[in-house]
Amino acid sequence: MLSLSKHTLKTNFPMKKTFTWFRKTAFAEGISFIVLLFVAMPLKYFAGMPMAVTIIGSAHGALFVAFMALAYMVKEQCNKPLSWGVKAFLASIIPFGTFYMEKQWKKEEAEAVEVD
């Protein structure tokens, strides 16, 4: 089923694929944040190894940018309110937040595919 809405072409498959990539990226971003906070930062300050923060921090930064871009895409494709995007952002800056939100996002992904 195809529908045209404000200059974008939408299908069920890309929406599910985008939401799936969003969830996978959220998981990876959450892991990188935990490693940054609980491995790399202690290595930097207690073991004198600042390179750990440089490496893990760079990876985490890239994953964060990808997470936010995918969150925006999901928000637009699934017509989510602004509050959904704010919750996604907050989940990404609170340790273990993306893991906490995973169950809800999985449910929303299933519902979004069923609706269209």
Q: How far is CA 20 from each of CA 3, 35, 87, rounded to the nearest angstrom?
A: 21, 23, 18
**SS3 labels along 66-109:** HHHHHHHHHHHHCCCCHHHHHHHHHHHHCCCHHHHHHHHHHHHH
Q: What is the average per-residue pLDDT within 10-25? A: 80
Question: Roughly what angle, to the nearest 10 degrees, separates helices 51-77 and 12-35?
Answer: 160
Q: Is residue 35 scored above 80 in pLDDT?
A: yes
Residue-wise pLDDT for 67-89, tens only, equals: 999 999 999 999 999 999 999 99
Q: Would you state the pLDDT for residue 15?
A: 77
d(CA 91, CA 102): 10
Identify which of 104, 114, 116 has the alpha carbon closest to the alpha carbon of residue 23.
104
Give the per-residue pLDDT at 14.
Answer: 75
Rounded distance between C-alpha atoms, residue 90 and residue 92, angstroms: 5
Bridge-based pairing state of the strands 3-5 and 8-10: antiparallel
Rounded to whole angstroms, how far apart are CA atoms 59 and 53?
10
pTM: 0.84
pLDDT above 90 coverage of the chain, percent: 77
Higher pLDDT pick, 46 / 113: 46
